[in-house]
Amino acid sequence: MTNDEEYVYDEDSGEWMTAADLQAKQSVANTVEVRDAVGNLLADGDQVTLIKDLDVKGAGQTLKQGTLIKSIRLTGDSQEIDCKYPGIKGLVLRAEFVRKR
C-alpha cells in the first residue's frame, strides 16, 4: 500500500506532517476571536447594541446607548469591528463598547 500524500516539515513543532494537516493547523492559528463587553463571541453579520454613549470623531455626532448596529464585519483585530450606520462613513467601534443582540 502506498501513501501519495506529501509530507512537509513544521518548524514550530519540529514534526513531519501532511500538507493538509499543516494548512489546517495554520488556518486555526490565524483566526482571531472577537468578544463583546460581556464575553459573547462576535461573528460577521451579527447585530450589536451600544452599551454607552459614544462621540464619533469627525462626524460631530453622538451615538446613544442602546443604538442598534446591524451587520457588523470583523477586521482581524481582536478589539475592532467595522460597522455601517446612516450618516457616518467608515465607522469602526471597539468591541468593549458593544453587546451582541
List, by residue range, all CATH 2.30.30.40 domains of the chain.
48-100
Amino acid 80: pLDDT: 93
Q: pLDDT (tens digit, 9 = 90+) per residue, 55-97?
A: 998 888 999 999 999 999 998 888 999 999 998 888 999 999 9
CATH superfamily of 48-100: SH3 Domains (2.30.30.40)
Q: How many residues does the chain have?
A: 101
Question: For residues 22 and 8, is the Cβ–Cβ distance under 8 A?
Answer: yes
